[in-house]
Every structure is written in structure tokens, then in C-alpha cells.
């Protein structure tokens, strides 16, 4: 069937930040995070470091909101003490991969210095970051545990199994081809691991009933889709039988199918992140931003169109007849991340220094040598 070719306007369209409390919180957490890595900026040239740091702030804020909303929706009468979130489960790509790729035969790995230089013990655990990733911080702030371990390649204790793990795999996307191109876990592979995990949970939880209760009351994070656009569509020729509009529709349908499958495995409280301004992350500025490494307007606009379609689908599914009692929430990564990039002075001098270090010409050659599958 012939697909209609659609030209997407490069004009940037995005909503303004709505919460002054969020702005203050961003300033606080950004300053504390940047202090840890500003000194290492010339050495720390990972394309993911800046994105992971800022995405952590946004995901953390929205995850706490979702947790509160879901608890309120399922809460018993006010006289009964509200139950704590028992576990956190994470699916997605390198923004939230704490080391699953270490167990895979793939080039998309970061279990070597300078990764992990600010992680406890200064260990390169496989996290695509100098320190913790969003799953770790969300788990800590929810009072679950300090670090969310990878499911693969980790000696998991009973406590780990009872309180949640991450199945995320750096380099994957909602489109299964995205993961296959770089030999990492597809989103369906991650669901298969979750099924395997549930069998282990039944054994350590003392039976199927308690295990099912943990699964239903836990919080779920899904953070992927960026590599579908940045790599599979814009960088390789393998999906060019789609025009951009059709490919976005395909990816959103894959996301919808994933949410339904995750719900079918017992998840009820799920937050799903949209794409960041992919035209402004270092890899895409290097690949398509010209000699000055400018943001790529077309790529950013593609993220805007994808996010709008994804958010619409999430709202359609939330609490629907197809997914009764579900609490689904869309996480907007795009707006605050672009605001940080365009107005770093609003978040403090350290943010400006960190941004300039990340995008400096001195780091250009080093950044181009990193794997193209890692933003």
C-alpha cells in the first residue's frame, strides 16, 4: 500500500511550563546534580549524561504526582492509613537502564569509566550516567530503596524482588526494529522478563495472591521512543517506507500495544514519558546540526508531533473500558528540557556552564566516537 509523504513544518511548538513549584524544584535538583559533574565536564562527554540528568528531574516530579493520584484514586476511607507503594518497575531505554545491557552481546554498553564516577563506590554499573538514573531517584524518593537494580546480570536478593527492578535496555524503542538493529532488548523482550520475574516473586512473596497484590499496587515507568525517531527513522534507511507522519502513528500504536500488554500482566499505575527535544541532544546536533552543531528543528518538531499523539492515546486508554481501574499518566520531558537548553540562566550559572561544556567544540570529536545508538 502506498503511503502518503507528509512534510512536517520545522516550526517549534511547545506549551509553556505551568508550575512555579516545578521550576523551583528543577533549580534545586539541577544545581545539586550539576555540582557533582561540572568539574568532570571536559572528560564526561557522554551524549546521555546531560539528558539523563535533566530527564531525572522531570520524571521524578511527575512520578510523585502519579503515585499520589493513584493512591488517592484507590484509597479507602480517610480513617484508614494510606498504603505505601510496594515496588517500582521500569521499562525503557538508556535513560533508565541501570545495567541490563551488561548481560547482552551489544556495543551499547557503558560499564567503563568515566561512567559511574559519582555512583556509590565510583563503579561503572552500566548506567548511562555519571551517577544515578531516574529509576534510582524515584525509588529513593518514594521510600522504596536507594537504587533500582537491573534484572539481568545482577544477583537479586529477596528484597530486590519484592521491591522492584528495571528491565530497561539502552538503545531500544517502541518499534522492535530499533532494539534489533543494535542487539538489545525489545519492549516485548522486557515484558517476557517481567513474566519470568513474576514467577520468582510468587516464590519469595509466599504465594500468588500476595505477589499479585504487589504487582497491582506498584508503580510502573515506561521511558522510551526517542531512539525510534533519532536513530531508526532519521539515521537509518530501514523505515523509510513510512513517511514521518505514518511512522509516528506506527510507533504510537506500538506504545499503545505495550501499555495494554503491561496492563494484562497486572500493572495498573503506569506513567509513560514522551520524547525529549531530540534535535537538541548532542548526538543529533553532531549528526545533523551542521558545523555549529545547532538544534535540528525538524527533529524537534517530530518529537512534538509524536508526543501529542502519544499523550492523546494515553488519555484515551486511561481508565477506559479496555483498561478498567488503570491510572495512566503522560510525562512531558520535552517542555522543561528544551527550556533548560534555551534558557540555562534561569536555572543558575552552573547549568549554563554545564550546557556550554557539553556542547563545546572541544567535545565534538569525542562525542562523535560514541555509539550512534546512544543519544
Distances (CA, A) of 371 to 36, 43, 239, 287, 374: 24, 17, 20, 12, 6
Cα atoms in the 13 Å half-sphere on the side-chain side of 278? 28
- Which stretch of DSSP H or E encloses residue 191? helix 187-205
Q: Where are the beta strands (DSSP E) in the chain?
A: 88-92, 219-223, 269-273, 327-331
CA dihedral 90, 95, 99, 101 (to 10 degrees): 100
Cα atoms in the 13 Å half-sphere on the side-chain side of 256? 20
169 catalytic? Reply is no
| From 94, 256, 283, 371, the catalytic residue | 94
The answer to whether the beta carbons of residues 375 and 230 sit under 8 Å apart is yes
User: Which residues are within 8 A (CB) of 314 and not within 5 positions of it... i.e. 6 or more apart?
Assistant: 259, 272, 328, 329, 330
The answer to whether the beta carbons of residues 221 and 63 sit under 8 Å apart is yes
Q: Which of 299, 334, 312 is nearest to 8 (CA)?
A: 299
DSSP string covering 225-277, please? -HHIIIIIITT-STTTTS-HHHHHHHHHHHHHHHHHHHHHTT--EEEEE----
Q: Which of 52, 56, 169 is nearest to 105 (CA)?
A: 169
For 341, the 3-state DSSP assignment is: helix
Q: What is the DSSP letter of 347?
A: G
For 331, the 3-state DSSP assignment is: strand
Query: Beta 327-331 vs 269-273: how paired, if at all?
Result: parallel
Among all residues, which ones are annotated catalytic? 94
Amino acid at each position: 500500500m502506498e503511503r502518503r509523504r507528509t512534510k512536517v513544518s520545522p516550526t517549534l511548538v511547545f506549551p509553556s511550563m505551568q508550575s512555579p513549584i516545578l521550576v523551583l524544584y528543577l533549580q534545586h535538583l539541577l544545581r545539586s546534580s550539576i555540582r557533582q559533574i561540572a568539574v568532570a565536564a571536559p572528560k564526561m562527554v557522554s551524549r546521555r549524561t546531560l539528558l539523563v540528568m535533566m530527564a531525572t528531574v522531570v520524571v521524578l516530579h511527575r512520578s510523585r504526582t502519579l503515585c499520589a493520584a493513584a493512591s488517592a484514586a484507590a484509597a479507602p476511607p480517610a480513617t484508614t492509613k494510606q498504603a505505601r507503594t510496594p515496588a517500582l518497575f521500569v521499562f525503557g531505554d538508556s535513560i533508565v537502564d541501570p545495567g541490563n545491557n551488561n548481560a547482552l552481546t551489544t556495543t551499547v554498553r557503558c560499564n567503563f569509566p568515566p561512567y559511574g564516577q559519582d555512583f556509590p563506590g565510583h563503579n561503572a554499573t552500566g548506567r548511562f550516567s555519571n551517577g544515578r538514573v531516574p529509576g534510582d531517584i524515584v525509588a529513593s524518593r518514594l521510600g522504596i530503596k536507594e537504587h533500582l537494580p537491573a534484572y539481568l546480570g545482577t544477583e537479586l536478593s529477596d528484597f530486590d524482588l519484592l521491591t522492584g527492578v528495571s528491565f530497561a535496555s539502552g538503545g531500544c524503542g517502541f518499534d522492535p526494529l530499533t532494539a534489533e538493529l543494535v542487539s538489545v532488548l525489545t519492549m516485548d523482550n522486557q515484558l517476557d522478563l517481567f513474566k519470568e520475574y513474576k514467577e520468582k516473586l510468587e516464590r519469595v512473596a509466599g504465594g500468588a495472591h500476595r505477589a499479585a497484590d504487589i504487582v497491582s499496587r506498584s508503580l510502573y515507568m515506561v521511558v522510551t521512543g526517542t531512539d525510534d525517531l533519532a536513530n531508526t527513522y532519521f539515521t537509518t534507511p530501514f523505515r523509510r517506507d513510512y513517511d514521518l507522519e505514518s511512522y509516528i502513528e506506527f510507533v504510537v500504536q506500538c506504545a499503545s500495544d505495550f501499555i495494554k500488554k503491561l496492563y494484562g500482566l497486572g500493572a495498573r499505575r503506569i506513567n509513560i514519558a514522551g520524547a525529549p527535544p531530540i534535535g537538541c541532544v548532542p548526538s543529533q546536533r553532531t549528526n545533523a546540526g551542521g558545523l555549529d552543531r545547532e538544534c535540528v528543528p525538524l527533529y524537534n518538531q517530530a518529537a512534538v508531533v509524536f508526543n501529542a499523539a502519544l499523550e492523546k492515546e494515553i488519555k484515551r486508554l486511561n481508565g477506559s473500558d479496555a483498561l478498567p481501574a488503570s491510572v495512566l499518566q503522560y510525562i512531558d520531558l520535552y517542555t522543561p528540557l528544551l527550556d533548560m537548553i534555551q534558557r540555562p540562566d534561569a536555572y543558575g550559572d552552573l547549568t549554563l556552564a554545564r550546557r556550554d561544556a557539553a556542547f563545546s567544540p572541544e567535545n565534538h570529536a569525542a562525542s562523535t566516537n560514541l555509539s550512534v545508538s546512544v543519544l
